[in-house]
Every structure is written in C-alpha cells, then in structure tokens.
Amino acid sequence: MLDEMVRKLAEARRIMDEYREQMKALQVDVDAEIEERFGGERRRLVALLETAATEVLDADDALRAAAVAEYEATQDKRPHPAVTVKVYTTLSYEEADASAYCREYLWKALKLDRREFEKAARVLEPEFVTFEVEPKATVATDLSAYVGEEYQAG
C-alpha cells in the first residue's frame, strides 16, 4: 500500500515539475518579447518611477518633520486638515532592572520561555511534566527513482 502511495506522489511531483519547467520557458519567451517590443519605454518608465518614488519619500519625510515642528511650537495636533500628529510615550529601562522588579512585585508580567523550559525539563524531568512520544512521517524530496517502469517494488 505505501509503495503505491509513494509512486503516486512521485508521479504527481514529476508532473508538477514538468508544468513548472514549461512555465519557466514560457516566462523567458514572454520576457524576451516584452523587452523586444517595449524595452526602451519600459526602461524609461522604470527610471521615472524610481525618481518619483524618491520624491514622494522626500516630500513625506519633510511634511512629517514640519508637522511635528508645528506641533512642538503650538501643541496643535491637527496642524493641517490632512495631517494629524500623534503623541506616543515610550519607556526606557534596563531589562535586568525590569526583571528584578517583576520577580519581586509583578509576577504576572513574567512570561514563560517555553523553549528554554522544555530544554531544561528534558534534563530535569520535573514530576508535573509528562513526556509523550509522537511519530511523524517524512517523505524524501527526490522520488524520481519511484517513477516509471524501471522501478520494481521491493
């Protein structure tokens, strides 16, 4: 039964690879035709698009900086109908200090690092941990030996 299933998967992969190769060949032909018919115009548009994208990024950066400067001067969060300034509070602290604080006062803020715990649990074998065995099958990537008439089930 497994032998027939391996052969079926191998054949399905072979067919998929064949179609993939046909698509690659077609794409090469399409790319060559596009280059032949529209290459100059395409290159011109790509250059124009790159220039426009740079201008958009520069204008966006300048507008954001000007809006923040306007906010800092006036405290107006709507310096223009199309622009809103949002004010965020960020925290700055040493991770070691935060960890020590949480261990003493804020246990809920501590999060279990599952990967580290499971690595240690395999060695320490705490009584509240159960170990379950779960079989998983893997299939070879290359099944070409199982395609065609030359393969004989063994």
With a cut of 90, say whether residue 18 has pLDDT above it.
Answer: yes
For 29-43, the DSSP string reads HHHHHHHHHHHHHHH
Mean pLDDT for the stretch of residues 131-148 = 88
What's the pLDDT at 151? 56
How many CB atoms are closer than 10 A to CB 151? 15
Residue 93: pLDDT band by 50, 70, 90 thresholds?
very high
Kindly indicate the confidence band of residue 133, based on its pLDDT and cuts at 50, 70 and 90: confident
pLDDT band at 148 (very low <50, low <70, confident <90, very high): confident
Q: Where are the domains of the chain?
A: 2-132
Q: Give Cα separations from 79 to 59, 82, 125, 133 (angstroms).
A: 17, 8, 62, 63
Mean pLDDT, range 126-133, rounded to an integer: 91
Return the number of other C-beta atoms located less than 10 Å from residue 56's C-beta. Answer: 10
> pTM for the whole thing?
0.52
pLDDT of residue 55: 97
SS3 127: coil
